[in-house]
Amino acid sequence: MTSNTTGHHPGNSVAEGNHEGEFGCTVGDLRTLMELRSGEAVSKIHETYGDVQDICRRLKTSPVEGLSGNPTDLDKRKLVFGQNFIPPKKAKTFLQLVWEALQDVTLIILEIAAIISLGLSFYRPPGGDSELCGEVANQEGEGEAEAGWIEGAAILLSVICVVLVTAFNDWSKEKQFRGLQSRIEQEQKFTVIRKCQVIQIPVAEIVVGDIAQIKYGDLLPADGVLIQGNDLKIDESSLTGESDHVKKSLAKDPMLLSGTHVMEGSGRILVTAVGLNSQTGIIFTLLGAGSDEEEKKNKKAKAQDGVALEIQPLKSEEGGDPEEREKKKSNIPKKEKSVLQGKLTKLAVQIGKAGLLMSAVTVIILVLFFVINTFGFQGRPWLADCTPIYIQYFVKFFIIGVTVLVVAVPEGLPLAVTISLAYSVKKMMKDNNLVRHLDACETMGNATAICSDKTGTLTMNRMTVVQSYIGETHYRQTPAPDALLPKVMERIVNGIAINSAYTTKILPPEKEGGLPRHVGNKTECALLGFVLDLKQDYQAVRNEIPEEKLYKVYTFNSARKSMSTVLKNADGSFRMYSKGASEIILRKCTKLLGKNGDVTVFKVRDRDEMVKKVIEPMACEGLRTICLAYRDFVKEPEWDNENEILSDLTCITVVGIEDPVRPEVPDAIIKCQRAGITVRMVTGDNINTARAIATKCGILNPGEDFLCLEGKEFNRLIRNEKGEVEQDRLDKVWPSLRVLARSSPTDKHTLVKGIIDSTIGEMRQVVAVTGDGTNDGPALKKADVGFAMGIAGTDVAKEASDIILTDDNFTSIVKAVMWGRNVYDSISKFLQFQLTVNVVAVIVAFTGACITQDSPLKAVQMLWVNLIMDTFASLALATEPPTESLLLRKPYGRNKPLISRTMMKNILGHGVYQLTIIFTLLFAGEKFFDIDSGRDAPLHAPPSEHYTIVFNTFVMMQLFNEINARKIHGERNVFEAIFRNPIFCSIIVGTFLIQIIIVELGGKPFSCTGLTLNQWLWCIFIGVGELLWGQVISTVPTSRLKFLKEAGHGTTKDDILEGDLMEDNDEIDHAEMELRRGQILWFRGLNRIQTQIKVVNAFRSSLYEGIEKPESRSSIHNFMTHPEFGMEDDEPRIPLIDETDVEINGLANCAAPSPPNKNNNAVDSGISLPLTDASKFTSPTPGSPLHSLETSV
């Protein structure tokens, strides 16, 4: 930390001054330099430093070799220039959390009541004749009269317990969030050059003077100056609000800022500012992240929901319209609510209102009855001396009323949700799901559709060239090196080694006998592997022609779908190597490299012949085909005229690349289909390859009615004459669509949005999307749950996603579905259990109070029941591990209620059993057990055996009903797999033991008295009756009980159409005013923590706008408001469909896939062209390897 401050205020200490002297420029100099833009920056560099090389010299680094990596040097740099780390906001202390838990309205009421009760118990009215004041406790002994304080003290003690438990849960929740946060950060690595080696280091380890390699899809972790760049375009919207991509070049604008995204191209930069000294860090400091004083000043400015302040950095478009910002701010809470949270909030508010009503009625009835009875029927006068005693009665009634409210309000709900989500998130880590937004975990359980990428998700993303067409010969395996002429071999090797990202490499295996490691773009790795299989050395070519000598590079992007590199020859002529999807490059070829190395004419007829004989058979086997070509220029052409440059090419070879389907994918897809989830493949590959792989995976099954479309055809079907997407047209296409090939990012976004907004069918769709490329960002954001690939994914994709698949594997998605359903079921189990207790306790307290003027269950007992049913039950039921059987039912969807008819049947059925038993015991128990009646006891009467039995039986019934609550779909075997959940077993046993202690030793504070063994056995026997009664209930068919209502509905279609959530917000506000603020505070608190985490995360990785996920309701306008995915970017892509679809005429008639060429991956024929820099390309489509191009690791 010190180093941050050091870096922040250069020259604070002598020692530091000395250190700075060792470098040719200070933190201040570099900071000033980084604040300049474009022309100003260029002139400042020239005036002050000379050139970028000179800055490198001053910072003691080499633009080619990088830093030495010597630990002493790195430490010194951290000391002088700061670390690349922005300190997180201070976590709340445990005491602060305790204070927050104490703000709960219900608890405050209880505390006040307890304090009044305590005060009055110590007050002895002078000479008050208790005879005159009505029957107080005439039979009390001296000792008992002194014990009046115990009840007040016990309530206070229970309140303290509840507060500590809540605070501890919040504290552990925050700790988990921070742990998750740091885990996400540690996973973030960046490519730098040290000692001539290209290595990946954690972002926090980057220091000033490092030479970093940047490429398409990167999110820059520090500020820097460009040393060398190819076609570099940056999205600076997160810092400047400017949505156009900014071109970077040494001559015009060499400044790169942290938090911005590389949208095209590649290059090398010199890191000049890190952490708090970078542009992101400076803004962060201004926002008060670094200092507490700032924070205090800003507190007042915080918006009501407490999220606006933390969110602002994301939107720090200083130049933005303030009104716009206000609008964005006010929208934040709306985006946060997940399907489950929406249902729970509604339910909690309804229950809270009912509880409030019941408690008010209870208090009114008790007070009226007492007043009428004492002053009416008994005709007593109100004596001044008796006032304290009457007040004690009123306080007692008030405490009973508050107790009813405490029991009625399910404050355990938020706790159950938190525990269940936190538990699942922790366990999902082990299943390779890194959950970034908590609610995504539960939303996934409702998923009805998954739009999956192909490369790397369904396939292994370990590409290999398995077939090639060289010199008019089709080789089914790699040709022997001596079968090719040296001239042809030289063109192949150069065309691959030079025209691909220099960061793409094949390294020796880490373990002996392992496979060589592929670093960088997978498609390029396959081509480099082909060079090695031909027994050639690509590295020798690269050493001879280093990156600096490349004359011009046309990097890969989704519009170009190809990559070209130009070299200048010694005689002044130029040679350009190109590669790309075979359909695209072949259309631009007019010559072909023949067998003997001579160039022959290549006519349209020859091309059609080649497509039929070579490309189609490869594609039908699931291979992705890539064409390599070259062109010589005698004199320098107009390089900006790309269409002219990329024509008249000479075809060198066409290769077929295979990416085998992951062995576990077909099973995983069958599980999804069985679980009622439709899997669709959206890829940039050509339709034959896509169909072949979809068939191998099981997405397409013979005899099914399905559609396989190309992007162009898809757009024709869903757009009207004006080119606008029409929902009605889309609704006719998507239900049967299974494969969308040659799709652009816009197509993917349109499809996802269309499915989410569709209202056909009995339930609305919940859509999950997988993606790894920068251009998948819009679709990932739009989806209900976005999955980004942890290995192959770009930073931009990860930033837009909700869950990161750390192993890039489709099976992990199935596990996420299982966990999501488990969260939903855990919460339903808890609800079923809790509502039974609520209904029974409220009715018992209410009727008991009205009939006997005293609640059979005392305040402290109610608090204990509340603790069992809230905290402990939420722990027990929310930590049930998932089982495969969860995948055998259909998803619930958006509008399915939380409490189903079966659950309602269980709640009411068990409620009837418990009420019958309790009332029987209450009004006839003394005869059955032959004990004194506890009814109509005076104010400070000692605890009675009668009421102790009622209390004990009530708790026993809850304990056994907790076992019943493990099943919510009407299953009979409630003990199934009970020992797989040790937490559940220990809580049941623990609660039972504590209950014994309370009854036998609780005495006056718990209003209990010891029971005999016989009485205990009866209590337990009645409790076990719950299990038997549960079997009776499950025999009654739910279908017969038409009168049962469901509860806790999600949003209905009408709500969606209104789109405005205002009423919903109002409802919450009323609830806050009149009901326990606790639940709502909790929902908000969770939202707030999520938001803060996202913000911190965003900041750490960068200032990235629009992290929150647009709610499913948002329209395409939302998409447009995110500058980072400006539509301008995508517009060209729509028309480009023709290009994409470069299908060659007979391509469609592909025979059924021939025996597995194991290649499942022929993806995007728009293939990813290796770029000269790691991944310069934008994968045109998600499925394409291009995508993974960017991955550079």
What residues are labeled active site? 453
**Pairing of the two strands 707-710 and 678-682:** unpaired
Contacts 24+ apart (CB under 8 A), 6-11: 6/79, 6/80, 6/82, 7/80, 7/81, 7/82, 7/83, 7/274, 7/275, 7/276, 7/277, 8/82, 8/276, 8/277, 8/285, 10/80
Q: In angstroms, rounded to a whole number, what is the distance separating the alpha carbons of residues 565 and 547?
A: 10
Please give the angle made by the CA atoms of 1109, 1184 and 558, to the nearest 5 degrees.
75
Q: In angstroms, rounded to a whole number, what is the distance separating the alpha carbons of residues 198 and 203?
A: 15
Task: Mention every residue, 6+ apart, whose C-beta is less than 8 A from residue 663.
Answer: none
390, two tokens = 């009457």
Decide if 1124 contacts 650 (C-beta within 8 A).
Answer: no
Q: In angstroms, rounded to a whole number, what is the distance separating the alpha carbons of residues 772 and 641?
A: 31
**Which candidate, 792, 506, 501, 530, places its Cα nearest to that of 656?**
530
Q: In angstroms, rounded to a whole number, what is the distance separating the alpha carbons of residues 488 and 13?
A: 65
Q: What DSSP state is assigned to residue 644? A: H
CA atoms within a 13 Å half-sphere pointing along the CA-CB vector of 1106: 24
Q: In angstroms, rounded to a whole number, what is the distance separating the alpha carbons of residues 863 and 866?
A: 5
Q: In angstroms, rounded to a whole number, what is the distance separating the alpha carbons of residues 60 and 66?
A: 9
Decide if 1185 contacts 1179 (C-beta within 8 A).
Answer: yes
The length of the chain is 1193
Decide if 497 contacts 550 (C-beta within 8 A).
Answer: no
H or E stretch including 390?
Answer: helix 387-408
Q: In angstroms, rounded to a whole number, what is the distance separating the alpha carbons of residues 458 and 849?
A: 64
Neighbours of 511 (CB within 10 A): 6
Which residue, chain included where needed, has tokens 């039912």?
889
Phi-psi region of 305 (alpha: psi -120 to 50; beta: other; left: phi over 0): alpha
Distance of CA 731 to CAs 553, 752, 761, 895, Å? 43, 12, 10, 19
Q: In angstroms, rounded to a whole number, what is the distance separating the alpha carbons of residues 782 and 376?
A: 68
**Which candidate, 832, 772, 838, places its Cα nearest to that of 1191?**
772
**Pairing of the two strands 589-593 and 649-658:** parallel
**Pairing of the two strands 449-452 and 767-771:** parallel
Decide if 1175 contacts 1189 (C-beta within 8 A).
Answer: yes
745, two tokens = 């990012």
Backbone angles phi, psi at 652, to 5 degrees: -90, -50
